[in-house]
A and B are shown apart, each in its own frame.
Chain A
Amino acid sequence: MDISRRNLGKLAVAAGAVSLFAPSIARAAGQKLVVVGGGPAGATVAKYAARGGGVDVTLVEQNPLHTTCFFSNLYIGDFWELDKLTHGYDAMRGHGVNVVHQRASGVEPGKVTLGDGSSLAADRIVVAPGIDFKFDLYEGYDEHVAETRIPHAYKAGAQTQLLKKQVEAMPEGGTFLICPPPNPFRCPPGPYERVSMVASLLKKNNPTAKIMILDAKDKHSKMALFQEAWERHTPGMVEFVPAEFTGGGIASVDADAMTVTTLDGETFEGDVINMIPAQKAGQVAVDSGLTGDGDWAPINPVTMESTLMPGVHVLGDACANGDMPKSGFSANSQAKVVANQVRAMMGEGKAFPPRFRNTCWSLLAAEDGVKVGADYVSGDDKITKTEGFISAVGEDAATRAATADEAVGWYEAITADIWA
């Protein structure tokens, strides 16, 4: 805490220097911020950085619509409709953000290169490309297999629909195999909420079916809560195979045989396989050198500025975000801190102390919701957790129903906060 205050002091001095020596220039020129990626992190930072005026904000996003990964499991479980996961960028333009629907192919200090070869000049850049997958770790698995036979469905959209269709078409008494990735990865409770949602669907349509979790880990988020819920809602349906017995995950995938082989050499057959590969920062961050030798972009825990490339901030799932989980909530929280910091650096307003927060709701079954959350501060060299909470095993039904209904309220609020 002391350290972060000291860092802030320095920041305030730096920001003050800009406004003392070049206030008119800063304002008249309208410093340029280019944001790469229109997901929860990028869209929030664009909207909040534009708020109050004085900063010229451009958002670079390849797709005209964003489908949220959060709540896409609820679509699989029949609790949410697909079109309610989808959000556009019209409101963003209303906030004064210039939206460019192109792929960003490269980032360097002061410049973002676009897919068509043109480039955008920037005083500061925010890079928020989300995740990509380490397909090369798995023999027999690539993007083509994922799109056609064995979806990861870990970027919401066509693969989410494919997975739901596959589960619905599963033979009676068939097996659903899910292979959660090693840490760190997007949405730590995500694969397990997916198990609950698939279980909920199977309970209705195919109650003798089985679900097998071949995990890369021995423990996972909200583990006791999920396991208690599986036993209560669908006794005997779900089997969890931890890293101790998989050897730490999956070695290879055979889409023709519909099998996966674990690192321990054991082969499992599934009627539907949901293979979620190990993850790394989105490609543009890797290609631009923002991740260095690692999978995630190292950052300053106060400003979230890259420690490898000055003037470039990396946030959301793509950054090495310390104690924070990779989640839409975290991304939205980080984006508000960065918008404030960047505006202050550009001479617009003052920098306030960074405050980060995350809450993840998971639906276990109809009217059975749980949550986990924490707050975070900027530590010496990383974002550090201060205090957290988690739903208790054995809570009463009214609490669980209220928590499930909170999640619905949260979805409305966060998507409005990001894209509306």
Chain B
Amino acid sequence: MRQHFTRIVCSVAFGLCLALPAKAEEVTIPFGSISLVGEFNRAGQDAPDTVALITHGTLAHGKMEVIAGLQAALADRGIASLAHNLSFGIDERRGMYHCAVDHTHHDEDADTEIEAWMAWLREQGTRQLALIGHSRGGRQVARVAAKGAKADAVILLAPATANAEHASRAQFEELYGEPFGPMVEKARQMRADASLDTPGFLFCPDAHVRASSVLSYYGDDPVGAEDFASKITTRTLVIAGDADEVVPDVEDSFYDLDDGDRLVVEVVEGAGHFFLSFFAEDAADLIVDFLNRQVSEDFGIAWEEADLAYGEYLGGECTGCHVAGGAGAIPNIHGLDANYFYSALRAYASGKRENAAMRSVSRALDAEQMVAITAFFASQREN
């Protein structure tokens, strides 16, 4: 119980919180002997029901433009998100990776960090957890999901494909003046924890790299996000930009996997690899649509015709437990999307979602009352 006290103090001042634009706050969580850093944008909610966990690309960070833009666009649409910085073995790492720092990290390290953040979000009461990954982060997210991580949705934004990895290896010699093969051979003969000087490593020239790190990034034949995606059972959205020059083959690589249901590929016209400015909005629209489809149906109800006065009266049953912004394990319900809210009520009534109190509440409502209550809370969007 103690761990929730800080959040309660925050929600007491909720009236104020709501009036402010949604802003990200930095969160740190312990991870082994170090701490991980993330930017949490709660989208104006104290205890958001749905949170997207965003993983950045190669040696980047959670405040890079593509990620920050996406977070802001999602928050505008009422979706909370947490953009974490992969640590690369560095305590409280922020900003781009400094190439002068010795590389001791592995591509797979991302998986345990993503899982640590997922566990933390679940502890915070997140019920719907979406994993978003950009570029190499997209491939890492696909791998985590393929291993069975309990996400409710997976979104791969310009994910690194096998072809893209082949292409970057092919560029190695062009960039650093020699092929990467000898570096890998040398690493294979060394002790895993010994270090070697390399002509280049990822985007860092003349890098000092641990042997096991070299093998992690260059040792095996490239595996693409699409290879992992074929093993994901969670519903997955892949977003490609048709002007992406870094990973130009996203649409092609996922073409065979797109079944219109479990995995869907969407293409944003004109977007490059980093989905700058308006393209972040386009991506956010696709993500929100996808999340809503995931958890709700469109019932074709004309919410605007519902009896809001009746809904407000009936909603008195809800506000005794649901404070605006949410608190403890009881989530915010103010300002939720009507189809989502209505789906959730029906899911509690049918037993698809389990909570004894919500089962009792939802079963005591007839269809007209459910519509009125849904329309009332959907109208309670304060920012």
Q: A359-B357, A405-B328 are in contact. Are A412 and B313 (CB under 8 A)?
A: no
A–B complex contacts, Cβ < 8 Å, 9 sampled: A48-B316, A371-B356, A389-B359, A404-B1, A405-B4, A406-B321, A406-B357, A412-B327, A417-B319
| Contact between chains at A336 and B313 (CB < 8 Å) | yes
A-B contact count (CB 8 A): 108
Say yes or no: is A22 at the interface (Cβ < 8 Å to chain B).
no
Mark A331-361 against chain B: 1 for CB-CB distance below 8 A, else 0. 0110010001000000001101001010100
B17 → A minimal CB distance (Å): 13
| Contact between chains at B316 and A336 (CB < 8 Å) | yes
| Interface members, chain B 289-324 (any A CB < 8 Å) | 309-310, 313-314, 316-317, 319-324
Mark B1-30 against chain A: 1 for CB-CB distance below 8 A, else 0. 100100010011011000000000000000
CA distance A48 to B14 in the complex (A): 20
Q: Which residues of A contact B326 (CB under 8 A)?
A: 409
| Contact between chains at B320 and A333 (CB < 8 Å) | yes
Q: Which residues of A contact B367 (CB under 8 A)?
A: none
Q: Which residues of B contact A363 (CB under 8 A)?
A: 1
| Interface members, chain B 132-149 (any A CB < 8 Å) | none
CA distance A409 to B317 in the complex (A): 15
CA distance A388 to B327 in the complex (A): 24
Interface centre among B317, B320, B327, B361 (most CB of A within 10 A): B320
Interface residue from A350, A355, A390, A408 paired with B317 (Cβ < 8 Å): A355
Say yes or no: is A391 at the interface (Cβ < 8 Å to chain B).
yes
Mark A400-420 against chain B: 1 for CB-CB distance below 8 A, else 0. 001111111111111011001
CA distance A278 to B98 in the complex (A): 72
Q: Which residues of B contact A404 (CB under 8 A)?
A: 1
Interface residue from B11, B313, B329 paired with A352 (Cβ < 8 Å): B313
Q: Which residues of A contact B11 (CB under 8 A)?
A: 412
Say yes or no: is A138 at the interface (Cβ < 8 Å to chain B).
no
B318 → A minimal CB distance (Å): 9
Could you tell me which B residues sit within 8 Å of A by CB distance? 1, 4, 8, 11-12, 14-15, 47, 125, 309-310, 313-314, 316-317, 319-324, 326-330, 356-357, 359-361, 363-364
CA distance A420 to B13 in the complex (A): 10
Say yes or no: is A170 at the interface (Cβ < 8 Å to chain B).
no
| Contact between chains at B364 and A386 (CB < 8 Å) | yes
Interface residue from A79, A332, A391, A416 paired with B323 (Cβ < 8 Å): A416
Q: A373-B356, A387-B364, A388-B360 are in contact. Are A409 and B320 (CB under 8 A)?
A: no
Q: A355-B364, A405-B125, A405-B328 are in contact. Are A391 and B317 (CB under 8 A)?
A: no
Q: A349-B309, A355-B317 are in contact. Are A375 and B364 (CB under 8 A)?
A: yes
Say yes or no: is A366 at the interface (Cβ < 8 Å to chain B).
yes
CA distance A391 to B359 in the complex (A): 13
Q: Which residues of B contact A84 (CB under 8 A)?
A: 8
**CB-based nearest A residue for B125:** A405
Q: Which residues of B contact A349 (CB under 8 A)?
A: 309
B194 → A minimal CB distance (Å): 44
| Contact between chains at B328 and A332 (CB < 8 Å) | no
CA distance A373 to B357 in the complex (A): 7
CA distance A263 to B12 in the complex (A): 47
CA distance A391 to B320 in the complex (A): 20
A293 → B minimal CB distance (Å): 33
A38 → B minimal CB distance (Å): 17
Q: Which residues of B contact A416 (CB under 8 A)?
A: 14, 323-324
CA distance A405 to B122 in the complex (A): 13
B16 → A minimal CB distance (Å): 12
Say yes or no: is A374 at the interface (Cβ < 8 Å to chain B).
yes
| Contact between chains at B320 and A414 (CB < 8 Å) | yes
CA distance A211 to B322 in the complex (A): 36
Q: Which residues of B contact A387 (CB under 8 A)?
A: 360, 363-364
Across chains A and B, which 3 residue pairs bring their CB atoms closest together, nearest first?
Answer: A409-B328, A409-B330, A408-B328
B306 → A minimal CB distance (Å): 14
B5 → A minimal CB distance (Å): 8
**CB-based nearest B residue for A349:** B309
CA distance A189 to B322 in the complex (A): 22
| Contact between chains at B313 and A340 (CB < 8 Å) | yes
Q: Which residues of A contact B314 (CB under 8 A)?
A: 352, 355
CA distance A267 to B178 in the complex (A): 95
**CB-based nearest B residue for A84:** B8
| Contact between chains at B364 and A408 (CB < 8 Å) | no
| Contact between chains at A409 and B364 (CB < 8 Å) | no
CA distance A355 to B314 in the complex (A): 8
CA distance A411 to B4 in the complex (A): 12
CA distance A416 to B316 in the complex (A): 12
| Contact between chains at B330 and A389 (CB < 8 Å) | no
CA distance A101 to B323 in the complex (A): 27
| Contact between chains at B317 and A357 (CB < 8 Å) | yes
| Contact between chains at A413 and B310 (CB < 8 Å) | no
Q: Which residues of B contact A371 (CB under 8 A)?
A: 356-357
Mark A316-340 against chain B: 1 for CB-CB distance below 8 A, else 0. 0000000000000100110010001
B234 → A minimal CB distance (Å): 21
| Contact between chains at B328 and A410 (CB < 8 Å) | yes
| Contact between chains at B364 and A359 (CB < 8 Å) | no
CA distance A336 to B327 in the complex (A): 22
| Contact between chains at B364 and A413 (CB < 8 Å) | no
Q: Which residues of B contact A388 (CB under 8 A)?
A: 360
Q: Which residues of A contact B8 (CB under 8 A)?
A: 84, 408, 412
CA distance A352 to B1 in the complex (A): 38
| Interface members, chain A 172-215 (any B CB < 8 Å) | none
CA distance A403 to B310 in the complex (A): 30
A82 → B minimal CB distance (Å): 14
Given contacts A350-B309, A352-B310, A405-B125, 6 further A-B contacts (CB under 8 A): A357-B364, A375-B364, A390-B356, A409-B47, A410-B320, A412-B12
Q: A349-B309, A387-B360 are in contact. Are A413 and B319 (CB under 8 A)?
A: yes
Q: Which residues of B contact A142 (CB under 8 A)?
A: none
**CB-based nearest B residue for A337:** B316
CA distance A113 to B317 in the complex (A): 33
